[in-house]
Amino acid sequence: MSLTIGLNIKNLRTKGHFTQEQLAAYLGISTQAVSRWETQNGDPDLALLPRIADFFSVTVDDLFGIDRDGRAARIEELRRRVIRTLNNAPMEEGLALLRDAAAQYPSEVFFQIALADWLLRHALQDPNTPNLAECREAERLYLALRDRTDNPHLRDVAITGLARLHAHGYGDTQRASRFLDELPTMHTCRELAKLKVLSGKKLQKARQLAILRMTETLGQLLPDYIAYHIPNERDRFEEKIDMLRRLIDLYDLIFGENKLHYHRDVSTAYRYIATYTVALEQREETLAALEEMCRHAIAADHTAFTENARFTSPFLDLLRSNTVFPMMEDIPQMHICHTQLEKLTQARYDPVRDDPRFHAVEEALRTAIDTIKKEDAPA
């Protein structure tokens, strides 16, 4: 066996921020055995090599310093399969695949964070009776990622997941608040700090990214604020509709027609409008809002993460999609077309359900979903 395999194991373990205890527990052996390998006082049994390789998301050849191409290809294919499955299959099937992927490649962050997020989502399906076993499993994954990653964005993703888990899974808002206090404040965030330091074209690009992030934040906060904080009284529905239209105007100003992923937020704003217009018995306005909801949902699903797509608005024309969406923001989520189609089953839309235009919206969403499934399907 190679004289350097123990050193390779040590290098892989150190690079991945794993302890000897973690590797030993995964293999079902003593910590002392791992220590002997790393000090070149012994070699692992041949039967252990595949499991050691899987722990570090490498091949057995990689343990000997040979060929990394095969491992990378397998991981990428599994990643694509995970995305296809999570977008199209029942949640239980997605969980099973993610558990298998995370077990095969324990140091691949994509699989670990995707599993944690999906576990939490599955655990909170019924907010009145969360699945505590799945909450604890997600918690272990989030904590491990928070404590070992060098990527500040991924650390923040893990901390946010822990806060959600404690607030909604365990009902412990105090602990959730303590996790949230680990995150940077808005005034010390990266986007605003760059405005104080950079110059030239880099400063202009930083300004555009700050404009985008602020608009994005408003687009995520205002619809729920309008719906749930402002009293939900019938005589205020017109006021709420006007607020939502002003939010859409803001998106049109900042993004123009080419909104890429952010068509999703506009689609949601139009759906909120439809909930108020249908309650006010405004049939034409409801159908028009649902048609716009549909149009933007389809645009979002077909352009969300187009590689290197560029915004065309003068406020954002220096930005490309791969700059705006960091790696972990591409954790698979349900397509917006699928979400909007599910919302249309709500009883509130019964007053317009028999209208051909309503049926056309449903059919357009179904067609878009089928098209996406075909595009996601393996060749």
Range list for CATH 1.25.40 in the chain:
90-183
Rounded Cα distance between 322 and 305, Å, is 8
Walking along the chain (379 residues) 10 residues at a time, the average pLDDT comes out as 75 89 92 90 88 86 71 83 76 89 86 93 91 95 89 89 96 95 85 89 94 92 94 96 98 94 94 98 98 95 69 92 56 72 96 98 94 64
Residue-level pLDDT at 192: 85
DSSP 320: B
At residue 344, the pLDDT reads 97
Total residue length of the chain:
379
CATH 1.25.40 given to domain 90-183: yes
CATH 1.10.260.40 domain range(s) in the chain = 5-63
Tell me the three state secondary structure of residue 163: helix
**CA 313 to CA 89: how far, in whole Å?**
36
Give pLDDT, residue 322.
66
pLDDT of residue 4: 75
320: which strand partners? 310
Tokens matching residue 196: 């104080």
Q: What dihedral angle (degrees, nearest 10) is formed by the CA atoms of 58, 63, 68, 70?
A: -60
Task: Assess if CATH 1.10.260.40 describes domain 5-63.
Answer: yes
Q: Is 156 exposed, middle or buried (0-12, 13-18, 19+ CB in 10 A)?
A: middle
User: What pLDDT score does 328 carry?
Assistant: 39
Rounded distance, CA 208 to CA 121, Å? 33
Residue type, 103: A
- Cα Rg, the chain, nearest whole Å: 24
For the record, the structure tokens of 202 come out as: 């880099």
How far is Cα 290 from Cα 152, in angstroms, rounded to an integer? 39
